[in-house]
Amino acid sequence: MKAVILAVVAVALAGVVWAGGGWSTSHSLAGGTVAVTNAQANSSWAPVAVFIRYPVTCTGTVEVRRVSQGLDLAVGSCVFANVSSLVWIPDAAFSFQYGDALVIRSSETNGVVQLMRRGE
């Protein structure tokens, strides 16, 4: 399992390098929800990967949503059992313009979310 996760991370990092300037931010999962909003009027970004790490193995659900112009759309979800980390890589490029938000919700509230993004 660790080899698969490392391979996914390597692919995601290669995507960031290939696509140009990218950056990563970490967020506490306290409360079970992380929302990252594009607050810059003249720029956009796209998520490359979302990494979730729990301190112990756990069971639950995670969903990734995009909120844009008042529309709340599910772009990914996962039911998991006995894991301590998860990775979500988008199937398509989702561009986040000014005011758009990426929302990650987890039934387990003790963890860290790391969001890798690239500028557009």
- Using CA atoms, how far apart are residues 16 and 111, in angstroms rounded to an integer? 24
What domains, with CATH codes, occur in the chain? 2-119 (2.60.120.260)
pTM for the full model? 0.80
Q: Summarize the confidence of residues 44-61 as an average pLDDT.
A: 96
Mean pLDDT of the region 18-32: 84
- Per cent of the chain over pLDDT 70 is 83
How many residues are listed for the chain in this entry?
A: 120
Report the pLDDT averaged over residues 43-50: 94
Nearest-angstrom CA–CA distance, 93 and 76: 13
Closest CA to 49 of 17, 72, 3: 17
Tokens 């290939």, residue located: 18
